[in-house]
Structure 1
């Protein structure tokens, strides 16, 4: 097993940034100033599969968006933290409330502002189109870009490392 897979096998709580990870990072605004975000359905199902397999999922993001709150509700994500300035502190508090160690946590972010939380987790990842400096400081870099299947790829990687992916896939064949 590769070092990233060994680390991913320990993950019991996975945190996700939004802009550039769950979305492609582009910001769209209507003439009225309302924000529009586009999410991947493949990524969404990857998050659901993580939760089904017993991995807690958290969204920890610096921006505040009603669209993100709606997406989190739609997916059944219980841990949503928006408008966060210190993501590392939020992860530390959430980890403690769930009785987990740093080694049991992971986070995926795409820019240098995510480095403090990425370095505080046992498993860290970024997307293919993340900042180059971030890529050099994480355990895993997806082949796909943010908002374009990167989260699904990461979810599958974690589930495979934990020996759960094949059983989840088989469940769809047996329905």
Structure 2
């Protein structure tokens, strides 16, 4: 019988779409506002490069988040992410529609979230992940728990895990060693 880790790697190896929450996953979850009411978000450049590598390897990237922020739209544009869904109440329905649009089964889709509101979409995907500082109840129901926290390299860790499961990470790293 395969180990659970082998089954998780197998699930990650099938991914053709990986979606991410923002607050608590792509950021540390803290909400910063200026005196004028403008929102400020801090994103990890390590996470950003992981997302670019995943996309380069042929995995579609999506952001599906409950909040709406111009900063998220700018970050998505900067990373070339075209599947951006903000202000979403039913993330599972958005994933179902995106799966249909891309002609993918649930087994080919993954999501990374951090709180209980993410459980419906996490449980509707073939691969699910959370951050080290995610809610304890969420950790009980996902395939992969990152060692790092939200906004602090957890997304990169998951991207590297997926790329390793797909047998692509070593070749992508080797490009930087042959320069």
* Match 2:18 to one of 14, 18, 28: 14
Q: 2:8: which partner in 1?
A: 4
Equivalence map 1:17-166=2 (5 Å): 17-166=21-170
Distance 1:101 1:37 in 2: 33
Distance 1:59 1:71 in 2: 10
Distance 1:127 1:5 in 2: 17
1:63 partner SS: coil
Q: TM-score, normalised by structure 1?
A: 0.99
1:107 partner SS: strand
Root-mean-square deviation over aligned CA pairs: 0.7
Q: 1:167: which partner in 2?
A: 171
Per-residue CA deviations over 1:100-133 (Å, capped at 9, x if unaligned) read 1000000000000000000000000000000000
Aligned length, in residue pairs: 175
Cα shift at 1:174: 2.1
Give unpaired runs (5+ residues) of structure 1. Answer: none
2:43 partner SS: coil
Distance 1:2 1:140 in 2: 12
Per-residue CA deviations over 1:5-48 (Å, capped at 9, x if unaligned) read 11101110000000000000000000000000000000000000
2:122 partner SS: helix
Cα shift at 1:172: 1.6
Per-residue CA deviations over 1:74-111 (Å, capped at 9, x if unaligned) read 00001000000000000010011111100000000000
Distance 1:82 1:106 in 2: 18
Distance 1:50 1:96 in 2: 21
Distance 1:103 1:138 in 2: 14
